[in-house]
Amino acid sequence: MKARAASTLLLAIGLVSCVNFKNDAEDAKKAQTAIKAELGIDSSVAFRSTVGTQGATLAVVVHMNQTPSGNVAALKSSVSDIVNRSFRAHVDKVAIDF
């Protein structure tokens, strides 16, 4: 009986992880499209979701494919806003590089 309950729990965790990964992948694509549409900049968006003793965390990395001209701080703020708006899950960290 305990083995069956443990197997069911592991299966449920696996299914939830797959659904979350699928949602995060869709959200990364949505963020990439929004960055191009709103800021006119090509980028690539990647994410890493981890589950630890403190709970789940989601980190997003945005690589800008071109060096920005103008106010870099304002651009980073805009990109962070777009990423936070695009992801359904709470984004714990947004890293932006050029």
Calculate mean pLDDT across residues 38-51: 91
Number of domains in the chain: 1
Tokens 């651009």, residue? 75
> From start to end of 1-98, where are the E strands?
43-52, 55-64, 93-97
Question: Which CATH number characterizes residue 54's domain?
Answer: 3.30.300.30
Show the domain range for 43: 2-97
The pLDDT, as a whole number, for residue 15 is: 47
**Of 26 and 69, the one with more pLDDT:** 26
The pLDDT, as a whole number, for residue 43 is: 95
Calculate mean pLDDT across residues 41-56: 85
pTM equals 0.78
Query: What does the alpha-carbon distance between residue 36 and residue 2 come to, in Å, rounded to a whole number?
Result: 51
